[in-house]
A and B are shown apart, each in its own frame.
Chain A
Amino acid sequence: MLGFDKVSVHFDDTVALDGVTFELREGDTLILLGAAGSGKTVLLKTALGLIRPDQGRVSLFGESTHDKKEREMVDLRSRVGVLFQEGGLFDSLTIEENVAYPLLNQRTLRCPPEQVRPRVEEALEFVELGHTLEKVPSELSGGMRRRVGIARAIVTAPPLLLYDSPTAGLDPITANTITALIAKERDIRRTTTALATHRHQDGQLLANYRHDPATGRLLPADPGEVRTRFLVLLQGRLVFEGSQEELEASVDPYVSKFARRLKE
């Protein structure tokens, strides 16, 4: 679904990504771990074609983004839902307009006008914010803005979802609510998910828990029920790729910072 082949990105003399190679298969959950400034956001933006790599190739849904024009990338991006680090909500639009934005602007979707409002309401109900339609982003708390961001990402029912540090700067309770919503979306709609985070708890929750539709709660997942892989980035380089067990077994001082906490 998403593939990186020796991808490098530079900003002037700064190396943001250095020869990163990985593949995200359909139905998998990818947890991208790394400290602040390690290149997680750049990786996700490169996956979307918002940043063009200096070297290497990115493939999205089996299509190389290398030689695609911006207009072609727009069509390809319409199949990807994304939550930006700060939510990326348009502060001049209401919550309803924000969530409706991809439905009204992605030309490949061709959403009939009479379906826009019901789909927006459905997406907002999913994140339990159905009462905020008329509000503007500045009237919402940080956690609520992230949830609106999730609603906007899922409103088009994309097969691939990218989350950029969805819990950064949130209190632990709100952060868990956000992660639970991500798991709920993944398990109900069977979407392929990539999540960049510096919080070990986010990875732990997504790797070991599944959403139970009957109770609406997260329950421990059976072994192998959730196909989760972990990547660890350090200064733009991929220093680890593997399963949770491999991550926990790592003796690398940097990687084990994330792994040790997973064991706790």
Chain B
Amino acid sequence: MLDILKSPVHGLQDFVLLTFRAFLNIFRRPHYGDDIVLQMDIIGVGSLPIVMLTGFFSGAVMCLQMSRALAQYGASGEAGRAVAITLVRELGPVLTALMVCGRNASGMASELGSMKVTEQIDAMRALGTDPVQKLVKPRLIATAIVLPLLTVIADFLGIIGGYMVACPYLQLTTASQYWSKAHQSLEYNDLAQGLIKPFVFAIVIALVGCFYGMQTTGGTQGVGLSTTRAVVVASVWVFVLTFFIGNFFI
């Protein structure tokens, strides 16, 4: 029984240690600014097309599916409110995080995993560099900066997607009513929730991706395994955390 528990407890201990060291290193020199900018480009600019498409179509499809229910209750004019609240509070942060998870948590795990199995991480330590400082910190900072920005873009495009379905396509409401309802419905609470969530998700995605990468053993097969684990674990944590953060703001 104890042997079964030993591995996950040991893994959790390593994850907590990595998290502690990563946060401690944020304030320590050297800061590797070039690496942070490079990672922001890879994670932020690189993820922009898929995040824009996901945001736009999630807003559009949400409006499409809700149109019948709204019409049934004579609330077609509330389409803007429904789309804005759902996207900003929940769908925008979660879907953007899942996209970044699939694209970048896997990328971090495979990149660091390959470095681990080819002894590049050992070489880094032997040659005077702390791998957490050089590899984890830039990815953590970059993800924490760009994921909230990507979420804002996804939210905005989602509301536009909802507008395209609600106004020109299904003619549920007028453009001015759609936008005024969307604007009026959003409170500071919703905006705070919509920005805190991606910030927390970013930390989890970067740390989980880096953790599984740095724990990789067993050659190329191990790299594949780490990549899969990183995506699955980070995605599950996104859903778990969105519940608790949402619960806090309700």
Which of A's residues lie within 8 Å of B, judged by CB? Answer: 45, 48, 50, 70-71, 74, 77-78, 80, 82, 84-86, 88-91, 101-102, 105-108, 152
Shortest distance in angstroms between A43's beta carbon and chain B's nearest beta carbon? 14
Shortest distance in angstroms between A206's beta carbon and chain B's nearest beta carbon? 22
Contact partners of A80 in chain B: CB under 8 A: 126
Contact at B120–A88, with CB atoms within 8 Å? yes
CA–CA, A108 to B129, complex, Å?
12
Contact at A91–B118, with CB atoms within 8 Å? yes
Residue from B120, B122, B130 in contact with A50 in the complex, judged by beta carbons closer than 8 Å: B122
Contact at B123–A77, with CB atoms within 8 Å? no
Contact partners of B124 in chain A: CB under 8 A: 90
Say yes or no: is B41 at the interface (Cβ < 8 Å to chain A): no
Known pairs A88-B126, A101-B127; list 12 more (Cβ under 8 Å): A78-B128, A82-B123, A82-B126, A88-B120, A88-B122, A88-B123, A89-B120, A91-B120, A102-B127, A102-B128, A107-B128, A108-B128
Closest 3 interchain pairs by CB? A88-B123, A106-B128, A88-B119
| Residues of chain B in range 129-179 having any CB-CB distance to chain A below 8 Å | 129-130
Q: A86-B118, A88-B120 are in contact. Are A50 and B127 (CB under 8 A)?
A: no
Contact partners of A101 in chain B: CB under 8 A: 127, 129
CA–CA, A107 to B133, complex, Å?
14
Shortest distance in angstroms between A218's beta carbon and chain B's nearest beta carbon? 28
Interface pairs (22), CB distance under 8 Å: A48-B126, A70-B130, A74-B125, A74-B129, A77-B126, A77-B128, A80-B126, A82-B123, A82-B126, A84-B122, A84-B123, A84-B126, A86-B119, A88-B123, A88-B126, A90-B115, A90-B120, A91-B118, A91-B120, A101-B127, A101-B129, A107-B128
Contact partners of B126 in chain A: CB under 8 A: 48, 50, 77, 80, 82, 84, 88
Contact partners of A48 in chain B: CB under 8 A: 126
Tell which of B119, B122, B128 has the most Cβ of chain A within 10 Å: B128
Contact at B127–A85, with CB atoms within 8 Å? no
CA–CA, A89 to B119, complex, Å?
8
Tell which of B119, B120, B126 has the most Cβ of chain A within 10 Å: B126
Residue from A74, A82, A89, A108 in contact with B130 in the complex, judged by beta carbons closer than 8 Å: A74
Contact partners of A78 in chain B: CB under 8 A: 128
Tell which of B115, B123, B127, B129 has the most Cβ of chain A within 10 Å: B127
Contact partners of B115 in chain A: CB under 8 A: 90
| Residues of chain B in range 91-130 having any CB-CB distance to chain A below 8 Å | 115, 118-120, 122-130
Contact at A105–B127, with CB atoms within 8 Å? yes
Contact at A88–B118, with CB atoms within 8 Å? yes
Contact at A85–B129, with CB atoms within 8 Å? no
CA–CA, A196 to B123, complex, Å?
17
Shortest distance in angstroms between A40's beta carbon and chain B's nearest beta carbon? 14
Contact partners of A71 in chain B: CB under 8 A: 130
Shortest distance in angstroms between A186's beta carbon and chain B's nearest beta carbon? 19
Closest residue to B134 on the A side, CB-wise?
A105
Contact partners of A90 in chain B: CB under 8 A: 115, 120, 123-124
CA–CA, A77 to B130, complex, Å?
12
Contact partners of B119 in chain A: CB under 8 A: 84-86, 88
Contact partners of A91 in chain B: CB under 8 A: 118, 120
CA–CA, A81 to B124, complex, Å?
12
CA–CA, A50 to B122, complex, Å?
7
Contact at B128–A105, with CB atoms within 8 Å? yes
CA–CA, A152 to B119, complex, Å?
14
Closest residue to A162 on the B side, CB-wise?
B126
Contact partners of B120 in chain A: CB under 8 A: 88-91
CA–CA, A81 to B104, complex, Å?
34
